[in-house]
Amino acid sequence: MRKYLAINLLILALLLQYSLLAQNRKSNEALPPPNDLKTLTQYLSAAISSYQHGDVERFERLVDDLKLPNSEGWLQFQFGQEEGAELHVQYDRVFDAFRSRLADHAERLGKAPGELTLERWKKPSTDAAPLHPAPTPRGKIAVESFKYLLTASGQDRSEWMDSFVLVDGHFRFVGQGAFPFWSGPLAIRMRKAP
């Protein structure tokens, strides 16, 4: 009789644990839209964690939510028909590289729990400029850049930067580094020491 009671208690405990895991997974699915530093950090952390745990479909869904919706239309609105169409092709390549880099960072962590922190980066006002004339948007586009720091116990830390714009109330990726992809390669002006 005790044996059956112990088995029933064990089964009940396992069912309860499974139920809690399922509820936790559902709550993770309902992430708030990434529209500030905190929610962008949560979003990217969830994407990296999903990849680490083999849920590549969720990783891709979360990362794809950071892509400009109707990127061709958005770029044509910002830069004009012809230039926007050309930039759209570039954007797809840049976004694929963004997705790849996030997957690489997650892969380097293995199963080790990682901690991702983001901080807003203040752009230098006069120290960097495009090497070649960059496409000029029709109006001002508020680009925000974030510095990432990904750490895990016993591993080297990773640091990188990406740039985003707010579109439809969500952050959308627009470039690796401190400037949007349409700025092109940058030349950094060096100042002489006094």
pTM summary value: 0.76
In what helix (H) or strand (E) does residue 81 lie, and over which residues does it extend? Answer: helix 81-109
Taking CA atoms, 106 is separated from 45, 54, 125, 135, 151, in Å, by: 10, 10, 33, 33, 11
Task: Indicate the pLDDT class of residue 5, thresholds 50, 70 and 90.
Answer: low
For the ranges 20-24, 43-47, 71-75, 160-164, the lowest mean pLDDT is seen at: 20-24
DSSP letter at 114 equals: E
Residue 65 has pLDDT above 90, yes or no: yes
pLDDT tens figures, 23-60: 444 434 578 889 999 999 999 999 999 999 999 999 99
- Evaluate the CA torsion angle 119, 124, 127, 128 in order and state its sign: positive
Taking CA atoms, 114 is separated from 42, 66, 150, 156, 167, in Å, by: 12, 21, 7, 11, 29
pLDDT at residue number 129: 56
Residue 138 has pLDDT above 80, yes or no: yes
